[in-house]
Amino acid sequence: MTTTPERAHALADAAEPRVLWLDTPDRPPARPPVGATAADLVVVGGGFTGLWTALLAKERDPDRSVVLLERDRVAEHATGRNGGFCEASLTHGEANGRDRWPGEYDELDRLGLQNLDEIEETVRRHGIDCGFARTGQLSVATRPHEVDLLEPGTPGFLDAAAVRALVDSPTYLAGRLDADGCAMVDPARMAWGLAGAAESLGVRIAEGTPVTAVRRNGTRMEVHTPHGVVDAGHVVLATNVFTSLLRKARRRVVPVYDHVLATEPLTASQLASIGWEQRCGVADSGNLFHYYRLTDDDRILWGGYDAVYHFGRGIAPHHEQRPATHRVLAEHFHETFPQLADVAFTHRWGGVIDTCTRFCAFFGTARRGRLAYAAGFTGLGVGASRFAANVMLDLLAGEETERTRLAMVREQPLPFPPEPFAWTGIQLTRWASARADETGRRNLWLRTLDRVGLGFDS
């Protein structure tokens, strides 16, 4: 059976507008809000960055009192909506890292692999049931000009026959497998497990507790919520794209919506038709790229490509469902796997990503060193959030460490311009990136961005 665009659109439209990872009766019940209280450390944000910060803070100092405040539910936003690729890279890939920090990239690579190893150790030590599997990630070329990007003739390069022996798609021309640098996880279960581990060490987690302001009061901090003021020794802002609490971070982040489809569980014969026995994550090599993986129950999660920026840095629940984008994703799915023409989609959703101009996290302090923050993960937060947590705890302690000495940690990305220039620049960049995918050539606009340090080749 051949899937026409019209049939692909109908399959996408038939999927339920729900997040696969959050659509489970095993989701923990909501924790109650907290009123006026006090703590040595208050963490704002219940995603990966905040959860890792709270857990590591208690592991560093068991006597430190820690309170975590979440506006909605733990893992409600980016943490519970991503593809579950837990990568070692701290720099959004080697090319981006070497271009920006050539003198320290090898150190960043070492620290990233160490960070991934420590995530795996934490998951095992706390018995977190999140399907953590160090399957690696397969990069594939689907256009002739992308083959050279995968460095033919070097160890790890796979020709068309070799890559199709791993995952069978007629669109694959070549591939490269990073066998150790990426794990697949169920991100929501990982977050819920981290929350439970933190609570077992004495962290207090409050949900339904939005923070409206953070102010310094002498040597202490006041964290204002509708339920009361939390007195804090130090504060960590782990709010990622929701940067309204700190003006100095606000201009350096823009929200971009990423959209995802998930299929019904594949039958044994359907799974056999595409191979994929190694169950590695897959990403194609375009600037506008897809990422996809198998879930524990043999669904294919399929996302990426059509990242969407809404004018005025718009963030709203209705942006999470975008039929035009889900239909495009469905078309591309069936082009990649025509042997799965009869497979239905069961879930469709979207989530907002915090993007900055260097395409990986940045860090800083405010309020005379009593507040630390990290943001700008650009879709890489599943793994890099733990590294960020350690950086922020180092900064609050005033410690010089191998992390805080990094130029990556000390430098800030260039801010985005105000509207309408931000919207115009982002749309032009997206158009130019799509053209580069078709032609294999970066035009004058992209080359100019490269020269000023704003370019990125996925």
Domain 37-125+187-253+358-410 sits in CATH 3.50.50.60: yes
For the record, the structure tokens of 107 come out as 């150190």
CB 278 within 8 A of CB 135: yes
The C-alpha atoms of residue 113 and residue 108 are separated, in whole angstroms, by: 9
Phi and psi dihedrals of 115, rounded to 5? -60, -45
Report in angstroms the alpha-carbon separations of 20 from 43, 241, 322, 345, 350.
Answer: 27, 22, 16, 11, 11
Spatial contact of 355 and 254, defined as CB atoms under 8 Å apart:
yes
The rounded radius of gyration (Å) of the Cα atoms in the chain is 22
Euclidean distance between CA atoms 323 and 343, whole angstroms: 19
Please measure the distance between the N-terminal and C-terminal CA atoms of the chain and give it in whole angstroms: 33
- Per-residue pLDDT tens listing for the chain (458 residues): 568 989 999 999 999 999 999 999 999 999 999 999 999 999 999 999 999 999 999 999 999 999 999 999 999 999 999 999 999 999 999 989 999 999 999 999 999 999 999 999 999 999 999 999 999 999 999 999 999 999 999 988 999 999 999 999 999 999 999 999 999 999 999 999 999 999 999 999 999 999 999 999 999 999 999 999 999 999 999 999 998 899 989 999 999 999 999 999 999 999 999 999 999 999 999 888 999 999 999 999 999 998 899 999 999 999 999 999 999 999 999 999 999 999 999 999 999 999 999 999 999 999 999 999 999 999 999 999 999 999 999 999 998 999 999 999 999 999 999 999 999 999 998 888 888 888 888 888 888 887 777 765 43
How many helices (H) and strands (E) are present in the chain, helices listed first? 14, 18
Contacting residues for 215 by C-beta, under 8 A, at least 6 apart = 221, 222, 224, 367
Q: What is the pTM of this model?
A: 0.96
CB 382 within 8 A of CB 85: yes
Q: Where are the domains of the chain?
A: 5-20+135-179+256-355, 37-125+187-253+358-410, 421-451
Residue 444's Cβ-count burial label (10 Å; 0-12, 13-18, 19+) is: exposed
Residue of 154, 195, 189 whose CA lies nearest to 21: 189
d(CA 83, CA 65): 33
Tell which CATH classification among 3.40.50.300, 3.30.9.10, 3.20.20.70, 3.90.1200.10 matches the domain 5-20+135-179+256-355.
Answer: 3.30.9.10
Instruction: List CB contacts of 303: < 8 A, sequence separation 6 or more.
Output: 83, 258, 259, 260, 261, 290, 291, 292, 329
CB 238, CB 50: distance < 8 Å: yes
The half-sphere exposure of 39 on its side-chain side, counting CA atoms within 13 A, is: 27
Cβ(248)–Cβ(298) under 8 Å?
Answer: no
Q: Which two tokens stand for residue 238?
A: 């782990």
The secondary structure element, H or E, covering residue 229 is: strand 228-237
